[in-house]
Amino acid sequence: MIVIKTASELDAMRRVNQMTARVRDALANHVQPGITTLELGNLAQKMIRDMGGTSAFYGYHGFPGQVCTSVNDEVVHGIPGHRVLKEGDIVSIDTGVCFEGFIGDTAITVAVGEIDGEKQRLMDVTQASLDAGIAKAVEGNRVGDISNAIQTVVEEAGFSVVRDFVGHGIGKDMHEDPQIPNFGKPGRGPKLKAGMTLAIEPMVNLGKNKVRILDDKWTVVAKDGSPSAHFEHTVAVGKITPEILTLT
Protein backbone atom coordinates (compact mmCIF):
# COMPACT_ATOMS: atom_id res chain seq x y z
CA MET A 1 0.00 0.00 0.00
CA ILE A 2 1.32 3.44 -0.94
CA VAL A 3 1.03 5.91 1.95
CA ILE A 4 -0.11 9.46 1.21
CA LYS A 5 1.24 11.73 3.94
CA THR A 6 -0.94 14.27 5.69
CA ALA A 7 0.19 17.88 6.10
CA SER A 8 1.48 17.17 9.62
CA GLU A 9 3.28 14.04 8.46
CA LEU A 10 4.93 16.00 5.65
CA ASP A 11 6.12 18.52 8.23
CA ALA A 12 7.65 15.67 10.24
CA MET A 13 9.30 14.35 7.07
CA ARG A 14 10.74 17.79 6.38
CA ARG A 15 12.27 17.95 9.87
CA VAL A 16 13.90 14.53 9.81
CA ASN A 17 15.17 14.92 6.26
CA GLN A 18 16.78 18.27 7.04
CA MET A 19 18.58 16.57 9.93
CA THR A 20 19.67 13.80 7.59
CA ALA A 21 20.93 16.30 5.01
CA ARG A 22 23.01 18.11 7.63
CA VAL A 23 24.71 14.86 8.59
CA ARG A 24 25.32 13.99 4.92
CA ASP A 25 26.90 17.36 4.21
CA ALA A 26 29.07 17.27 7.33
CA LEU A 27 30.40 13.83 6.44
CA ALA A 28 31.04 14.89 2.85
CA ASN A 29 33.03 17.89 4.10
CA HIS A 30 35.18 15.62 6.29
CA VAL A 31 36.22 13.34 3.42
CA GLN A 32 39.95 13.65 2.77
CA PRO A 33 42.91 11.36 2.21
CA GLY A 34 43.90 9.60 5.43
CA ILE A 35 40.49 9.51 7.12
CA THR A 36 38.91 6.13 7.85
CA THR A 37 35.34 5.20 7.05
CA LEU A 38 34.87 4.41 10.75
CA GLU A 39 35.72 8.02 11.62
CA LEU A 40 32.93 9.10 9.29
CA GLY A 41 30.57 6.65 10.97
CA ASN A 42 31.52 7.92 14.43
CA LEU A 43 30.95 11.52 13.37
CA ALA A 44 27.51 10.57 12.06
CA GLN A 45 26.66 8.84 15.33
CA LYS A 46 27.60 11.90 17.37
CA MET A 47 25.72 14.34 15.13
CA ILE A 48 22.57 12.23 15.04
CA ARG A 49 22.63 11.75 18.81
CA ASP A 50 23.22 15.45 19.45
CA MET A 51 20.18 16.30 17.31
CA GLY A 52 18.01 13.90 19.29
CA GLY A 53 17.65 11.30 16.57
CA THR A 54 18.86 7.76 15.98
CA SER A 55 20.51 6.12 13.01
CA ALA A 56 17.90 4.57 10.74
CA PHE A 57 20.50 2.10 9.51
CA TYR A 58 22.15 0.80 12.68
CA GLY A 59 20.58 -2.55 13.52
CA TYR A 60 18.26 -2.47 10.50
CA HIS A 61 18.08 -6.16 9.58
CA GLY A 62 21.29 -6.41 11.61
CA PHE A 63 23.33 -3.77 9.75
CA PRO A 64 26.33 -2.94 12.00
CA GLY A 65 27.09 0.64 10.89
CA GLN A 66 25.71 4.09 11.63
CA VAL A 67 25.88 4.99 7.94
CA CYS A 68 26.90 3.20 4.74
CA THR A 69 30.33 4.04 3.31
CA SER A 70 30.98 2.44 -0.09
CA VAL A 71 34.37 3.00 -1.71
CA ASN A 72 35.27 2.79 -5.43
CA ASP A 73 33.74 -0.46 -6.78
CA GLU A 74 31.47 -0.77 -3.72
CA VAL A 75 27.97 0.12 -4.88
CA VAL A 76 25.98 0.32 -1.62
CA HIS A 77 25.84 -0.96 1.97
CA GLY A 78 29.55 -0.64 2.73
CA ILE A 79 30.21 -0.99 6.47
CA PRO A 80 32.32 1.73 8.15
CA GLY A 81 35.59 0.29 9.41
CA HIS A 82 39.34 0.79 9.46
CA ARG A 83 39.70 1.31 5.71
CA VAL A 84 41.75 4.44 5.05
CA LEU A 85 40.53 6.63 2.20
CA LYS A 86 43.24 7.40 -0.34
CA GLU A 87 43.81 10.13 -2.91
CA GLY A 88 41.88 9.22 -6.04
CA ASP A 89 39.18 7.17 -4.30
CA ILE A 90 35.48 7.96 -4.47
CA VAL A 91 33.23 7.18 -1.52
CA SER A 92 29.46 6.99 -1.37
CA ILE A 93 27.99 8.08 1.97
CA ASP A 94 24.42 6.90 2.55
CA THR A 95 22.79 8.44 5.63
CA GLY A 96 19.52 7.62 7.38
CA VAL A 97 18.02 9.28 10.47
CA CYS A 98 14.95 8.44 12.53
CA PHE A 99 13.28 11.29 14.44
CA GLU A 100 9.75 11.65 15.81
CA GLY A 101 8.80 8.33 14.24
CA PHE A 102 9.78 9.29 10.67
CA ILE A 103 12.82 8.46 8.59
CA GLY A 104 15.10 10.51 6.34
CA ASP A 105 17.37 8.98 3.72
CA THR A 106 19.98 10.57 1.45
CA ALA A 107 23.27 9.69 -0.23
CA ILE A 108 26.15 11.46 -1.95
CA THR A 109 29.32 10.29 -3.67
CA VAL A 110 32.42 12.32 -2.84
CA ALA A 111 35.88 12.54 -4.38
CA VAL A 112 38.84 11.87 -2.10
CA GLY A 113 41.34 14.53 -3.17
CA GLU A 114 41.99 14.58 -6.92
CA ILE A 115 40.26 11.90 -8.99
CA ASP A 116 40.55 10.88 -12.63
CA GLY A 117 38.26 12.22 -15.32
CA GLU A 118 36.18 9.07 -15.74
CA LYS A 119 35.32 8.88 -12.05
CA GLN A 120 34.35 12.55 -12.12
CA ARG A 121 32.17 12.00 -15.18
CA LEU A 122 30.57 8.99 -13.48
CA MET A 123 29.69 11.13 -10.48
CA ASP A 124 28.39 13.98 -12.64
CA VAL A 125 26.19 11.68 -14.72
CA THR A 126 24.79 9.93 -11.66
CA GLN A 127 23.88 13.28 -10.11
CA ALA A 128 22.31 14.37 -13.41
CA SER A 129 20.28 11.17 -13.58
CA LEU A 130 18.97 11.79 -10.06
CA ASP A 131 17.96 15.32 -11.07
CA ALA A 132 16.16 13.95 -14.13
CA GLY A 133 14.30 11.37 -12.06
CA ILE A 134 13.26 13.90 -9.42
CA ALA A 135 11.85 16.20 -12.11
CA LYS A 136 9.30 13.49 -12.93
CA ALA A 137 8.05 13.20 -9.31
CA VAL A 138 4.85 15.15 -9.90
CA GLU A 139 1.20 14.20 -9.60
CA GLY A 140 -0.18 12.38 -12.63
CA ASN A 141 3.11 10.85 -13.70
CA ARG A 142 3.95 7.23 -13.00
CA VAL A 143 6.86 5.53 -11.29
CA GLY A 144 8.11 4.38 -14.70
CA ASP A 145 8.57 8.00 -15.73
CA ILE A 146 11.09 8.46 -12.92
CA SER A 147 12.79 5.16 -13.76
CA ASN A 148 13.05 5.88 -17.47
CA ALA A 149 14.40 9.41 -16.95
CA ILE A 150 17.23 8.02 -14.81
CA GLN A 151 18.03 5.18 -17.20
CA THR A 152 18.09 7.47 -20.23
CA VAL A 153 20.65 9.87 -18.73
CA VAL A 154 22.89 7.03 -17.54
CA GLU A 155 22.87 4.94 -20.69
CA GLU A 156 23.27 7.90 -23.04
CA ALA A 157 26.52 8.61 -21.17
CA GLY A 158 27.72 5.03 -21.69
CA PHE A 159 27.36 3.87 -18.08
CA SER A 160 25.22 1.11 -16.53
CA VAL A 161 22.29 1.30 -14.13
CA VAL A 162 22.47 -1.21 -11.27
CA ARG A 163 19.26 -3.23 -11.51
CA ASP A 164 19.42 -5.37 -8.37
CA PHE A 165 18.68 -2.48 -5.98
CA VAL A 166 16.00 0.19 -6.25
CA GLY A 167 14.62 3.36 -4.73
CA HIS A 168 11.53 3.19 -2.55
CA GLY A 169 8.75 4.92 -0.72
CA ILE A 170 9.71 6.14 2.73
CA GLY A 171 8.01 7.56 5.82
CA LYS A 172 7.45 5.82 9.13
CA ASP A 173 9.24 2.82 7.63
CA MET A 174 12.53 2.82 5.76
CA HIS A 175 11.14 0.86 2.82
CA GLU A 176 7.55 1.57 1.87
CA ASP A 177 5.72 1.07 -1.41
CA PRO A 178 6.31 1.76 -4.21
CA GLN A 179 9.61 0.34 -5.37
CA ILE A 180 11.37 2.74 -7.75
CA PRO A 181 13.70 0.96 -10.19
CA ASN A 182 16.32 3.06 -11.92
CA PHE A 183 15.30 1.62 -15.28
CA GLY A 184 12.01 1.04 -17.03
CA LYS A 185 9.46 2.30 -19.51
CA PRO A 186 7.62 5.61 -19.15
CA GLY A 187 3.93 5.48 -18.40
CA ARG A 188 4.22 2.27 -16.42
CA GLY A 189 3.82 1.52 -12.72
CA PRO A 190 1.80 3.17 -9.95
CA LYS A 191 0.46 6.66 -10.57
CA LEU A 192 2.09 9.39 -8.50
CA LYS A 193 -0.03 11.50 -6.15
CA ALA A 194 0.83 14.59 -4.14
CA GLY A 195 1.81 13.61 -0.62
CA MET A 196 3.79 10.52 -1.56
CA THR A 197 7.35 10.60 -0.23
CA LEU A 198 9.98 8.77 -2.24
CA ALA A 199 13.66 7.95 -1.85
CA ILE A 200 15.02 8.22 -5.38
CA GLU A 201 18.53 6.78 -5.64
CA PRO A 202 20.35 5.91 -8.86
CA MET A 203 23.27 3.53 -8.43
CA VAL A 204 25.48 3.66 -11.51
CA ASN A 205 28.50 1.58 -12.55
CA LEU A 206 31.22 2.80 -14.88
CA GLY A 207 31.34 -0.74 -16.31
CA LYS A 208 28.64 -3.38 -16.48
CA ASN A 209 25.60 -3.47 -14.21
CA LYS A 210 26.15 -6.87 -12.56
CA VAL A 211 26.89 -6.88 -8.82
CA ARG A 212 27.75 -9.32 -6.06
CA ILE A 213 27.64 -9.26 -2.25
CA LEU A 214 30.85 -9.71 -0.25
CA ASP A 215 31.35 -12.21 2.55
CA ASP A 216 30.31 -9.62 5.15
CA LYS A 217 26.75 -10.23 3.82
CA TRP A 218 26.23 -6.50 3.25
CA THR A 219 28.70 -4.78 0.93
CA VAL A 220 27.53 -4.79 -2.68
CA VAL A 221 30.30 -4.44 -5.29
CA ALA A 222 30.42 -4.15 -9.07
CA LYS A 223 31.13 -7.64 -10.36
CA ASP A 224 33.66 -6.36 -12.90
CA GLY A 225 35.45 -4.20 -10.31
CA SER A 226 34.52 -0.92 -11.98
CA PRO A 227 33.85 2.23 -9.93
CA SER A 228 30.29 2.95 -8.86
CA ALA A 229 28.47 6.13 -7.80
CA HIS A 230 25.30 6.59 -5.73
CA PHE A 231 23.25 9.73 -5.15
CA GLU A 232 19.91 9.92 -3.32
CA HIS A 233 17.32 12.45 -2.23
CA THR A 234 14.07 11.97 -0.36
CA VAL A 235 11.36 13.79 -2.31
CA ALA A 236 7.72 14.70 -1.72
CA VAL A 237 5.62 14.36 -4.86
CA GLY A 238 3.99 17.70 -5.68
CA LYS A 239 1.02 18.75 -7.77
CA ILE A 240 3.23 20.88 -10.03
CA THR A 241 6.82 20.50 -8.84
CA PRO A 242 8.51 18.01 -6.52
CA GLU A 243 9.84 19.08 -3.12
CA ILE A 244 13.33 17.79 -2.34
CA LEU A 245 13.24 17.20 1.40
CA THR A 246 16.96 16.48 1.72
CA LEU A 247 18.08 19.62 -0.08
CA THR A 248 19.90 21.96 2.31
The domain spans of the chain are 7-244
pLDDT, average across residues 142-169: 98
Strand order in the sheet with 220-222: 74-76, 220-222, 211-213
- Give the residue among 232, 233, 229, 207 at the shortest CA–CA distance from 75: 229
The correct CATH number of 7-244 out of 3.90.230.10, 3.20.20.70, 3.40.50.10490, 1.10.10.60 is 3.90.230.10
Please tell me whether residue 238 adopts helix, strand or coil conformation.
strand
Per-residue pLDDT tens digits for 166-216: 999 999 999 999 999 999 999 999 999 999 999 999 999 999 999 999 999
pLDDT band of 22, cuts 50, 70, 90: very high
**Cα distances (Å, whole numbers) of residue 150 to 20, 110, 138:** 23, 20, 15
C-alpha triplet 138, 186, 203: angle, nearest 5°: 80
Three-class DSSP labels, 119-157: HHHHHHHHHHHHHHHHHCCECCCEHHHHHHHHHHHHHHC
